[in-house]
Amino acid sequence: MRRPAARQLALVALAGALVSTGAAAPPTSVAVPPKVPEAVGRGGAVASVDPDASAAGIAVLRSGGNAVDAAVATAAALGVTEPYSAGIGGGGYFVYYDAKSRRVHTVDGRETAPASATAELFQENGVPIPFAEGQTSGRGVGVPGTPATWRTVLDSWGSRPLGQLLRPAEKLARHGFTVDPTFRAQTEANEARFRDFPATRELFLPGGQLPVVGSTFKNPDLADTYAEIARKGTGAMYRGPIARDIVNTVRTPPVDPAATRIVRPGDLTAADLRAYGTKRQAPTHVRYRGLDVYSMAPSSSGGTTVGEALNILEGTDLAGLSESQYLHRFIEASRISFADRGRWVGDPAFEDVPTRELLSQRYADTRGCLIRPDRALTSPLAPGDPRRPVPCGSTGQTAPTTYEGENTTHLTVADRWGNVVSYTLTIESTGGSAITVPGRGFLLNNELTDFSFAPAAPGVPDPNLPGPGKRPRSSMSPTIVLEDGRPVLAVGSPGGATIITTVLQTLTGHLDRGLPLVEAIAAPRASQRNQTTTELEPGLWNSPLRAELEALGQGFRQNPEIGAATGVQRLPDGRWLAAAEKTRRGGGSAMVVRPQH
């Protein structure tokens, strides 16, 4: 563990940095809070992937704001420094523990399809279009939910006005942040897409070049947009000039005339934006090792899939197993729960989702008996029927795991009163649709590509086909764990469908295997999503454990990096521990209000 120091929030001057604004600018300097993966202290805690964003949240807590206030300030700052992961052009899921009532609440701020969307949204002449052509298009853009989420949570539980909470992010956008290797690498990975949209190119490829590591990146258009939302409220995203600009951008994507890329327009309308609303709903809940685990219900599949897997593992003493047997059980529970996710989970406003049955221990027991300690199951595994469970039985054909962009972001916050927030937000793919709203400084999501482009096979039910106003299925799994009604842990991660396995592995690594939270987050990951092979990070791929698991029939492929989790933990003496990644995405940023040893 790194020793939390009082200078945790001290600023490091980077003299002589270049300024990236799309035009030449004089040398300047920029202040950067240091990245620290673990911090312990009192007064509240924030963990995110970015130190500027964590610092924004800590400043709110220090000034007397609560966890909800700090979460909004942190999220707004992430929209500046992590614009390829999240922002006001996207959506997400907000899980909140209220210390006064000892209740967990959730807000579904997922993007929605236009009212004109049909099950054939991503088909032409009865054939699915190439995924890349849905990804970089107006057709993949859903109605953004992030601004409405901020309005909902602040109206419900906040204590500070939105304008005040947006001020740090507005300042960060106007004065700039320091480009790090991750930001440059993500820009480079999107360079071809970004060059095809003049507004995107001008913003993210200043002077036609990739941003330089160590330079200062400014986004004055986003600063102005934040200032407008601060004055008018989040309704400005859904009515008025900003809304008109969003609609025009989706319906007539501003493509460079010289580009050869096929960029399909979308059918988003002003009425779609006006009609958008978040959903306050009950969280998912399972009991695990005497603890209460709460997460996000559908339209996300995170809570049901993590919950089912935990129920499957409940009957096994994971603490007493060898490392290879622990990983074997974790992989198999993931495989089974993903088989059920693909068949049963979609937007409950449109689909009959058996959430209660998927989370029942009775059903988990009928599925868990499929696991053999000496032999791996084979994927794709057929789903079970949670309403008519048969011990060790399966029914029907499997539905594939649809692609989900991996470049989401997650933040966790706790305050001095004991309130806790676990919040995952996204614009889907790294860089979203790649389409920047001209003059507004933010990228639009491509979240509708989380829908199935077509049914898995003729006659196979698929709850995740597009529909009018429908929310695409997500894997976001913001999670809060309580003991006797009080929080002990909150965690979440980006990573598309790997979010579910990352959260599950972090929970079991900490709760069952006894790893400190920061080590449970840092541990090398595996991700099985009812696919023929399981993804392994290099730490497991290059480990003797791989051969032990292969001897059981497990098959693997390598993934250089899975997820980027953050968490907070309430220690027995009342202090907060904030934890983030040590190395993934260049390391995360954990901060507390008053650091203590």
| 110 annotated binding-site participant | yes
Contact 408, 49 (CB under 8 A): no
Nearest to 35 by CA among 180, 217, 176: 180
Annotated binding residue at 496? Answer: yes
Helices (H) and strands (E) in the chain, counts: 19, 23
CA angle, 180 then 27 then 16, to 5°: 60
The reply, when asked if residue 527 is annotated as ligand binding, is: no
For Cα atoms 145, 72, 430, give the angle at the middle one, nearest 5 degrees: 55
The tokens for 370 are: 């499929």
Q: What share of the chain is helix, strand, coil (3-state, %, to 5)?
A: 35, 20, 45
For 321, which DSSP code? Answer: S
Number of neighbouring beta carbons within 10 Å of residue 528: 27
The DSSP line for 217-286 is: E--HHHHHHHHHHHHH-GGGGTSSHHHHHHHHHHHS----TT-----------HHHHHH---EEEPPEEE
Q: Give me the sheet containing 534-536, strands edge to edge.
A: 526-527, 534-536, 556-558
Distance CA 405, CA 476 (A): 11
Distance CA 137, CA 227 (A): 28
Q: Looking up tokens 């580009």, which residue turns up?
A: 259
Peptide bond into 380 cis (omega under 30): yes
> What whole-number distance in Å separates Cα of residue 442 and Cα of residue 87?
7
CA 150 centroid distance within chain:
16
Extended beta strands in 91-244, E state: 91-98, 103-109, 123-124, 127-128, 177-178, 216-217
Of 241, 305, 294, give the one whose Cα is nearest residue 96.
294
Determine the Cα–Cα distance for residues 343 and 340; give it in Å rounded to an integer: 5
Token pair 């009604």 is found at 485
* 303: nearest Cα among 467, 143, 569, 106: 106
For residue 526, the one-letter residue type is A
Task: Check: CB of residue 482 under 8 Å from CB of residue 488.
Answer: yes
Active-site option among 408, 426, 498, 506: 408
Amino acid at 140: G
DSSP 466: -
Burial 417-441 (b: 16+ CB within 10 A, else e): ebbbbbbbbbbbbbbbbbbbbbebb
Q: Are 533 and 556 in contact (CB under 8 A)?
A: yes
Helix (H) or strand (E) holding 43, with range, is strand 38-48
Strands (DSSP E) contained in 513-562 are 526-527, 534-536, 556-558
Q: Which two tokens stand for residue 22?
A: 């799309």
**Does 450 belong to an annotated binding site?**
yes
Decide if 501 contacts 529 (C-beta within 8 A).
Answer: yes
Instruction: Establish whether 408 is a catalytic residue.
Output: yes
525 is in an annotated binding site: no
The set of catalytic residues is 408
Please report, in range form, the residues annotated as the binding site.
110, 450, 474-475, 496
Please report, in range form, the residues annotated as the binding site for L-glutamate.
110, 450, 474-475, 496
